[in-house]
Amino acid sequence: MRLIPRLLVAALCLSPLAAQAEDDPARLYTQHCAACHGGDRLGAIGPALIPDNLGRMKKAEAERVIAQGRPATNMEGFADRLGADEIAALAGYIFSPLAQAPEWGLAQMRASHVKGADSASLPKAPPFASDPLNLFTVVEAGDHHVTVLDGDRMEPLARFATRFAVHGGAKYSPDGRFVYLASRDGWVSKYDMWTGAVLAEIRVGINTRNIAVSHDGRLVLAGNGLPNTLVMLDAGDLTPLAVIPVQGEDKTPSRVSAVYDAPPRASFIVALKDIKEIWEIPYGKGREPVYHGFVHNHEAGMAEGLADRSLFPARHIRTEEVLDDFFFDPGYRNIIGAARDGKSGQVINLVTGQRIATLPLPGMPHLGSGITFTWQGRPVLATPHLKEAAVSFIDMSTWHEIKRLPTCGGGFFMRGHENSPYAWVDCSLGQAKDSMQVIDTRTLEIVKTITPEPGRALGHAEFTRDGRFVLLSVMERDGALLVADADSFAVVKRLPMVHPVGKYNVFNKITLSAGTSH
């Protein structure tokens, strides 16, 4: 069985049936869309077509895709068979909420679970000469592929198709051998970094926010926006171990905003989108699993107990407001959280569960891409802002703001490296979206603004393992990966890519580099 078709069905795939004029958009959908996307709009061979899963797509863009199709997918254009009114009706229909909240439980997960290449058949040594820990996973959103890039030679080693709209960043096994990816449509996939082979896939929800891998390599936690659940998976073959309903202490349901691994605490941290709580889910001490007595057998016990929250009990930490963007200090003792519509950040001690400081962060900081470094002997957090053209520097010993540095636009990503005195931040949310700014972490000043391809969106810097080079994404359909010298800032190589977005260095991620988001 093929896990992923050679040509993926994209967001708006319609069956090639002859169309007749219909006034009812639901009937139009049934006739032309259900074969790919399911009669319930929750997805089949194509992704779900519901507002939660359409991301930032606008209705006008949806109409264009229905009419013209989408290159490099099975989505063909239907302008020659559907009238403008019918196309508009279909686009409006897929943006309408479902009449009833969908269910996605154990039965659906088990039916979707597919195992691929046998781990025993994989090569025991890398089939290439380069450093296996200096590889990058490059997510190419334009045609839903991932390129495994050799960070020594700056050449692709493999390129493989993914599920639709992979997001949330790549997560690696502790040894860096395997990469786990989650899609907006709820698919969690495991790949071999050395060969690109698909090892397992499972659909854990209708809309999934992101995943986290435990530091011991045993577990994967997926957080869903729809339905309101957390799903614990065996990291080996993605067998589901527990389905945890997400409800506050007062039983109020919540979407999951994000999930994180906290290695020193041997626990997962869960950010919630609708309630004033943070969850901590311990998963083990040393080599012993926390789910005592659970039979690690993929058949026995599967039918019972999977919705039992006692298998992975959650600690509820109350907060003063809803916090859905987090950053951790290097020791994972404190969590820094910010509300999407708030004017400040909160520092919460994970040991006591109490707020210990309030931070002046009015520009909606993107804490998830923050970095740390040492400045004048003090540990510093630096974070870009989404709604303000600035980077904030926070002294983590006093939790006071050191400086707010104006930039050329709101930024989404920031990166640094232990071997480099420079941090890179994009201006992708401002008019200078084609530029990247370099900050000297010794002076907290901008020393260079680079615009390698004027007029074309530039973002997401990522360092190589040794910190000598920085990779940048030209985020266009006919985009590229740019390799810049980390000292001179000059672009030394260009690799064509199809709308590359995130790229993630194996070593920097598994060693929890201070300059890379975790």
In the chain the domains, ranked by start, together with CATH numbers, are: 25-94 (1.10.760.10), 105-130+162-275+277-318 (2.140.10.20), 136-150+364-518 (2.140.10.20)
pTM: 0.83
* Three-class secondary structure of residue 82 per DSSP: coil
Residue 285 is predicted with a pLDDT of: 56
Residue 8 is predicted with a pLDDT of: 35
Residue 151 is predicted with a pLDDT of: 97
Residue 15 is predicted with a pLDDT of: 39
Q: How far apart are CA 204 and CA 106, in angstroms?
A: 9
Residue 77 is predicted with a pLDDT of: 77
Q: How far apart are CA 75 and CA 16, in angstroms?
A: 10
Residue 4 is predicted with a pLDDT of: 40
- Residue 296 to residues 202, 268, 291: CA-CA distances in angstroms? 18, 20, 10
Q: How far apart are CA 466 and CA 354, in angstroms?
A: 38
Residue 182 is predicted with a pLDDT of: 97
Q: How far apart are CA 171 and CA 223, in angstroms?
A: 14
Neighbours of 241 (CB within 10 A): 25
Residue 120 is predicted with a pLDDT of: 87
Q: What is the dihedral sign for C-alpha 49, 52, 53, 54?
A: positive
Q: Which residue has the tokens 């994000």?
A: 258
Q: List per-residue pLDDT tens for the chain, 518 residues long.
A: 334 443 333 333 443 333 343 458 777 776 677 666 765 677 655 667 777 667 667 777 877 878 777 665 667 777 877 788 887 888 777 777 776 667 899 999 999 999 999 888 999 999 999 999 999 999 999 888 999 999 999 999 999 999 988 876 899 999 999 999 999 889 999 999 999 999 999 999 998 999 999 999 999 999 999 899 999 999 999 999 999 999 998 999 999 999 999 999 999 999 999 999 999 999 975 434 443 333 333 333 333 334 444 578 999 999 988 987 889 999 999 999 987 666 788 999 999 999 999 988 876 778 788 999 999 999 999 999 988 899 999 999 999 999 999 999 999 899 999 999 999 999 999 899 999 999 999 999 999 999 999 999 999 999 999 999 999 999 999 999 999 999 999 999 999 999 999 999 999 999 999 988 77
Q: Would you call 431 exposed, middle or buried from its count of C-beta atoms within 10 A (0-12, 13-18, 19+)?
A: exposed
CA nearest to 225, candidates 242, 205, 245, 239: 205
Q: How far apart are CA 246 and CA 323, in angstroms?
A: 15
Amino acid at 1: M
29 membership: H or E segment, kind and range = helix 25-32
Packed helices 25-32 and 84-94: angle between N→C axes, nearest 10 degrees: 90
